[in-house]
Structure 1
C-alpha cells in the first residue's frame, strides 16, 4: 500500500487528492460545493448533499486509479473551520448546517462582547469568537430553535460530519475543539467556557477530542460499499485546513517562529510557533489581546496564530473590473466590443505597475460589502483612497490597491507580534509579479514559495502518515516531504530597500487613518440606512 488520499472539504470545492507517501501527486478529483444564502445573514449547507459530493469525488478518483482500494494506505480528512452541524442519535442531520459565514447570531456575539466575556474566552482558547463560531451559533439555537438543539445527540463541524460518515466515529479534531471550547495550552475542553456561555446543559453533545496524528478508525463497511473501496482502510481526522496549509507550505519548524501569508479573495496571515510558551517572546503578550486566532499543530506544544482580513484579491478584481468596464464601454460605442477578462488585464499590465513609482496615495482595502470581520472587526468599514489628485494615472490607482492589501498584511503581523523577515507565501494573488514585489517591500520581508500544487492537502496527508507511523514526527516528515518543494529564489520575492522608509511612513498614516475613519464609516452607514 503506497497511496495516501487527502479529502479537503472546503466551502467552494470538495477535493480528493491521491499522493505517494513522498508527497508526489498521483491524481486529483474535485467537485463544486454548494451552499445557500438567505435573508437575515443565513448561510447554510445541506449535510446529505455534502456527503454525496464526497462520494462523487471518490468515484472520480477510482476512475483515475482503478486499483486505488488495494493501494490505499490511509485517508485523511481536513476542511473548513467553525460552523454548526447538528446530528441526532441515529446519525441523521437535523436540518441544514450553519456555515462560518452565517451571521444570524451577531446579536448573541455583541451581548458577550458588551459583558467582556469574549476576553475571558480568548484567554483560554487563544481565539476571538465571532458570529460564525460554533459556540455562538449554539446560543442562537438555544434562543430561537431550542427544539432542534434538544434533539441533537452530537454537534459537528463539516469535516467531523464527513469523518462520521466514513467511520461512524463521533469526535472533534483537537485543533477545532480547542479553538472553540478548549484550552490551547492543555489541548482539552475547558468547563469554564461552557459556564461563561451558558451552554453547560449542552456539554454532552460536544464530541470527544481526537488527535489525528496519533489515532485513526477504520472505514466502515457501509461507507466502503458506497465509495467503492474495501472496508477497514484507516481514516484519520486531520487538523483544520489552515493548520494543514501551514505545514504544506513549509511554515512548520521546531526552532524559531515562521510566518505564512495566503492571498486569495480574503487574506490570512499566520505565525507558527514551535511551542505555545514562545508566544510572548519577542512579540509582547500577543495572546492577551482578544484578537486573532490560535490553532494547534500536530507536534508537541506547537501552535499557529493567525489574523485575517475579508478582502485581498477581491480588491484587485474590483478595480480591474471598474477599469476594464470603461474600456468595454468605449469599444461598445465604436462597435468594436470585445470581452476583457479582468485577470488577463492584470497580467497584461503587470510589468507596467512595477515601473510606476509609489506616490503618497493611500488605499484601505475594505471593499467587502459586509465590512471587515477580521483584523479591525468593523462591520461599517469601507474601502477608500486618501490622496487622490488629477495627475494620477490608472497605474497609480492599481499600485495603491496592491499596497493597501499589503498594508493590511503588515497590520495583521503587527498584531501577531513582530513583522517577519521571511514569509511563506501562496495564493492566487501571487500570480502577479508586481504584487509579490510590492508585498515583499511593504513588509520588508523575503518571500518563500512552494512549487507543490496542493499544500493544504499535502499537510493533511502528512498527518495521516504520522498516524500510520510512516514518519516518526512532523519535523521529520516536513524535512523529507515539504522542504524539497520550497524555494527562496523568486526574483520578485525580495524587498526593495529604497522603499523601506516610504512604506514605513505610509503604514503609520494607514493605521492613523483607520482610527480617524471609523466614526465616519458608521455615519455613512446611518445615512444609507
Structure 2
C-alpha cells in the first residue's frame, strides 16, 4: 500500500528530495549541490537542463535509501527558489539559461518604475515591492537587451515551474509566485494593470496558467518516470513557492498566537500572518512581499533582506581562502564548526556590519540595488573573531528592521 510522500526543493544552494511517511516523519533525504554562474554586470544564471538532471538524480538516490519507493509513493510535491525567469520555447526546450533571484541586471529598470507615480498602483495590487530579482523587471530588461531571446520563448517559468513541467509536461505556475509579481493578491490572479505598469503587457502570453496545488495535480509523465525510477502516473503537485511552504511547516498559520517566522537561508525572509486582505500592511516605502498561502483568504506578509547566509559564507571564505593559499584545505562545514568559538571570544556590538553583500544590493525593508556591505568602527584591536560576530549581529539587526516595517513589534 502506498505510504510515502516525496517533497522536492530546488534551492539556490542545494537541490534535495525528501521522503516522508503519512504522519510527516522524515524517512530519508538525498541532495546534490546546486550550481549557477555569476556574470559581469550583475548576472546570475543557471542551466535548466542540468537543474532537471540534478533533480532526477536526487530522486534516484532517494530510491536507494527507501525500499520499494516507486510502488510506495502516494504523491510528489515540488517547490524551489523563488523569483527569476526561466524561458522555454514551444517544444519545451530552454531558450537560454535561467535568470536567478540573484540577478541584478534589471536594477536600473526597477529604479525607473519605482520613480513613477503609477508604481503605487502596482504595489497596492500585488502587495509587493519591486526588485531586480523579480520576473517582471527581468522581462522588461530582456525586452530592451535581448528581444530575440523573448521572440523564441513561449512560456516564462520560475524554477519550480520548470521542474513541474519536466515531471508532468504541464505548463503552470502557482498562486504565490503568479500574483506577487504580476497579479492582485486579493483575487489570486494576474492583473492587466500591473502588467502595464511593468511595461510587459505585450508579454502576457508568456505567463502560464495559475494552478492551485491544494486542488490540482498531474500525473508523472513516462519520460520523467524513466528519468527518476518512479511510476508513471504518480500524482505530482506544484507547491507554493519555497518560503510559503516553509512558513506553513514552521507554524505561521496559527490564528491565535500569530507568530513571526524567519528563514535564514541564502536570503533572509521574515514573515507575519495576515488572515484577511485588510490585515496586510502596505507601507509608504513600497517594500516587502504579500504571498498567498495554501489556505483561502490567508496571506504571509514578508520583508526580505537580500543576503543572509551569503554574508556568513563570505566571511568564512576569507579565512578558508587564506588557509588554502598555504596548502591547508578546510570545508565550509569545518569552518562553520568554529563559529561558536569565535563568537565566544569576541565582544558584543564591538563592530557594526551592514549585511548587503549581494551584488543585487538590498530589497528589504528598503530597496537599493547599489547597497553594499561594510564594517563600521573597525580598529587595530579588532580581529577576525570580531568580524565573524559582527556579521551575525548584522543579520539579527536586519531581521529586526524587516519586522519593524510590517507593524508593531
Q: Does TM, scored on the shorter chain, surpass 0.5?
A: yes
The equivalent residue for 2:268 is: 267
Q: Separation in 1 of the partners of 2:88 and 2:122?
A: 26
What is the CA distance between 1:410 and its match in structure 2?
1.1
The equivalent residue for 1:509 is: none
- Verify the 8 A CA contact 1:172 1:208 in the aligned structure 2: yes
| 1:363 to 2:359 alignment | no
3-state SS, counterpart of residue 337 of structure 2: helix
Superposed, which structure 2 residues align to 1:343-382 within 5 Å? 343-352=336-345, 358=348, 361=350, 363-366=352-355, 368=357, 370=359, 371-378=361-368, 379-382=370-373
Superposed, which structure 2 residues align to 1:130-149 within 5 Å? 130-149=131-150
Q: Separation in 2 of the partners of 1:208 and 1:303?
A: 20
Distance 1:369 1:191, change over 3 A: closer
Q: Separation in 1 of the partners of 2:384 and 2:52?
A: 47
Instruction: Give per-residue Cα distances to partners, 1:276-303, cap 9 Å, x unaligned.
Output: 3222xxxxx4455410111111011111
The equivalent residue for 2:7 is: 6
Distance 1:401 1:107, change over 3 A: closer
4+ residue runs over 4 A deviation: 313-326, 337-341, 349-353, 388-401
Instruction: Give per-residue Cα distances to partners, 1:128-178, cap 9 Å, x unaligned.
Output: 121121111111221222222122221111111110111111111110000
- Verify the 8 A CA contact 2:306 2:358 in the aligned structure 1: no
Superposed, which structure 2 residues align to 1:505-520 within 5 Å? none
| 1:301 to 2:259 alignment | no
What is the CA distance between 1:319 and its match in structure 2?
5.7
Q: Separation in 2 of the partners of 1:45 and 1:352?
A: 40
Instruction: Give per-residue Cα distances to partners, 1:298-349, cap 9 Å, x unaligned.
Output: 01111111222234445556666778999x79xx9xxxx9979543332224
Instruction: Give per-residue Cα distances to partners, 1:159-206, cap 9 Å, x unaligned.
Output: 111101111111111100001111111111111112222322221221
Query: How many aligned positions are there?
Result: 402
The equivalent residue for 1:93 is: 94
- Verify the 8 A CA contact 1:4 1:74 in the aligned structure 2: yes
- The structure number with the bigger radius of gyration is 1
Q: Separation in 1 of the partners of 2:406 and 2:8?
A: 30
Q: Separation in 2 of the partners of 1:319 and 1:57?
A: 30
The equivalent residue for 1:404 is: 394
What TM-score, normalized to structure 1?
0.70
Distance 1:172 1:162, change over 3 A: same
What is the CA distance between 1:384 and its match in structure 2?
2.8
Gaps of 5+ in 1: 280-284, 420-529
- Verify the 8 A CA contact 1:315 1:365 in the aligned structure 2: no
- Verify the 8 A CA contact 2:352 2:394 in the aligned structure 1: yes
- Verify the 8 A CA contact 2:355 2:398 in the aligned structure 1: no
What TM-score, normalized to structure 2?
0.89
